[in-house]
Structure 1
Amino acid sequence: MSIMKTRSFWLAAIMTLICSVAGVLLAKLPYVNLIGALVIALLLGIAMQLTPASLRNEAQGGIGFISNKFLRLGIILLGFRLNLEKLAAAGVKTILVAAVGVAGTIVLTYWLSRKFGAEDELAILSACGCGICGAAAVMGVSPQIETDDEERKRENEVLAVAVVCVMGTVFTLLEIGIKPLLGLTDPQFGIVAGGSLHEIAHAVAAGGAFGEASLDNALIMKLSRVLLLAPVALIVGYWYQHRLIKESEEEHTKEPKKLPIPWFLGGFILTSVLGTFLPFSTAFLDGLVQAAYIFLGMAMAALGVSVNFKVIFKRGGAVFGAAAISSVCLLVFMIIMSKIFF
């Protein structure tokens, strides 16, 4: 039995590693970089569904392990990108603006998604992806949501990732196009890009289009939002657990589940501290961040291999509409904030 599990893991690892590495390489190409390595890996994972069913069935056990454990490992390593000293140097106003933007976007996206008819789990995943940092936020918050229907949960994860990918790409092109009309300096535009675009890749693409000062500010503002992933995941976990306890009391159940603690997000904060205060070389830190994207890409590819993508097209309208409205509101908010405070 253990031999079968080992074979399943290595087969899944090879399949997802191919998708992940291809995603990283393709994301270096012009225009393709607007999509981002993680979303490319997800799409390649979906394409893996065209492989023989016998191959996919044999890899299924390993696919589940990679989508779960490698996701957490990737997010932990991603913390090395977050330089806390740079965030502190940027000032309290950067964190405060990021916090207000993230909170407002999550609440608005969730509320609109529910008003438009989206199910609860899909609404909160899409809201966190739009508010914080795209696909990584969707996958970081998802473990906090307990469910008995894992297939449905994977569908919701993929749909939420698709929402932030499409919205982020559209708004990246939009912001680059309207920049001359906004009356913003290059550093101010960097603040807008980092504060309003969903993926790190989107912020880099838009900020980098207008010079080094714009790119630096885009990264600082974007990473200020990334820093909020841990507290948001804790809040979402607490909120869902509180609802479970309430439902269990209504059903006269005496054994509510314990609050899931996202230990891997503690690892994310720890690696941020280590990367900031220990004398690691830039090349070493870049290598760790690159490894993070490889592991995250493998997790995204594993998600793509196992999801029923046909179902997604039937349920996407509500969250796409909500994300479009909230993305416009976030963009307007960041333009105003950049003019007032930066």
Structure 2
Amino acid sequence: MSIMKTKSFWLAAIMTLICSVAGVLLAKLPYVNLIGALVLALLLGIAMQLAPAHMRAEAKPGVGFISNKFLRLGIILLGFRLNLETLAEAGVKAILVAAVAVTGTICLTYYLSRKFGASDELAILSACGCGVCGAAVMGVSPQLETTDEERKCEDEVLAVAVVCVMGTVFTLIEIGIKPLLHLTDPQFGIVAGGSLHEIAHAVAAGGAFGEGSLDNALIMKLSRVLLLALVALIVGYWYQHRLVKESEEDHTAAPKKLPIPWFLGGFILTSILGTFLPFSAAALDVLVQAAYIFLGMAMAALGLSVNFKVIFKRGGAVFGAAVISSTCLLVFMIIMSKLFF
């Protein structure tokens, strides 16, 4: 049995590693970089469903392991990208604006998703992805306990798809309407970093208008990423507290302890290490690339588990909610950039 599990793991590892590395390489191409390495890995993982059925069946146990464990390792390593000194130099303004933007977007997206008929877990994941970034979907997901792992994978894929599509569409919109907004290039960078859903999107939009715009876009986006651990903790506490309350009302289950996301503690630790230890720029780049490889493997593993019928059936509600909340976030960031930056 152990030999079979080992074989399954290595087969899944090879399949997902191919997708992950290909995603990183493709993301370096012009225009394709708007999609981002992680979403490309997800799409390539979906394409892997064309592999022979017996191969996919053999790899299935390993795919589950990779989608669970490798995403945690990737998030831990991603902390090396977060330079706390750079954020501190940006001042309290950027952090406060990011906190308001993240809180408002998560609450609005969740509320609208539920109103439009999305499931609770899907609404939470989509809201966190739109509020923080795509990695937040993977960071929050372990906090949502479920006995239906297949449905949870579908929710993760849907939430990541929402982040990708909204981020890409609004990147093009923001670049197009920039002349109409009468913003300076640095102000536009604040808007891009505060309103776009992935670092790749913020870089693409901010980089279109010079270094001043790009620097501010990165600072503002990283201010939102900084809140990933806090968001996961709060969402986990809220979700478990609500489950406890429901179980007390119907007397069918015992209260559960809040699952502590130790990997998010690792994310904070690597942020501190990357900021204050004398790592070279090349070493940090290697660590961040490793993070994207592991996260890409986790995304490819999700892609191998996609059920398209369910996605097309359940996706409308969260996409509709994300359009509205993303538009509100853009308007909010335009106002904040004019008032405070």
- Which interval holds the TM-score relative to the shorter structure? over 0.9
Question: Residue in 1 aligned with 2:35?
Answer: 35
Counterpart code for 1:168? G
The aligned runs of 1:156-167 (5 Å cut-off) are 156-167=155-166
Can you give the 5+ residue segments of structure 1 that lack an aligned partner in the other structure? none
CA distance in 2, matches of 1:332, 1:105: 12
State the 1:335 CA deviation. Answer: 0.5
Question: In the TM superposition, what are the counterparts of 1:229-240 in structure 2 within 5 Å?
Answer: 229-240=228-239
Ranges in structure 2 where 5+ consecutive residues have no aligned partner: none
CA separation of 1:254/1:110 partners in 2, compared to 1, >3 Å: closer, same or farther?
closer
Runs of 4+ in 1 over 3 A off after TM superposition: none
Task: Give the superposition deviation at 1:240.
Answer: 1.0
Q: For 1:75-224, what aligned pairs fall within 5 Å after superposition? A: 75-133=75-133, 135-224=134-223
Q: Deviations over 1:50-69 (max 9, x none)?
A: 11110011111110110011
AA of the residue aligned to 2:43: L
Structure 1 residue aligned with 2:240: 241
Aligned length: 341
The aligned residue for residue 339 of structure 2 is 340
Q: 1:40-83, CA deviations, whole angstroms, 9 ceiling, x for partnerless residues? A: 00011011111111001111111011001100000000000000
Alpha-carbon deviation of 1:95? Answer: 0.2
Shift of 1:310: 2.2
Q: Does 1:264 align with 2:263?
A: yes
Query: What does 1:284-323 align with in structure 2 at a 5 Å threshold?
Result: 284-323=283-322
Q: Percent identity?
A: 89
2:21 is matched with 21
Partner of residue 6, structure 1: 6
State the AA in 2 paired with 1:125. L
Task: Map Cα deviations across residues 81-106 of structure 1 (whole Å, 9 max, x no partner).
Answer: 00000000000010000000000000
Which secondary structure state, in structure 1, belongs to the residue aligned with residue 239 of structure 2?
Answer: helix
- The residue type paired with residue 190 of structure 2 is I
Q: CA deviation at 1:255?
A: 2.5
Shift of 1:251: 2.6
> What is the TM-score normalised by the length of structure 1?
0.99
CA distance in 2, matches of 1:187, 1:14: 43
Counterpart AA for 1:79: G
Q: Tell me which amino acid in the other structure corresponds to 1:321.
A: G
Tell whether 2:51 aligns with 1:51.
yes
Q: Root-mean-square deviation (CA), in Å? A: 0.8
When normalised by structure 2's length, the TM-score is 0.99
| 1:156-203 residue CA offsets vs partner (Å, 9 max, x unmatched) | 111111111111000000000111111111111110000000011100
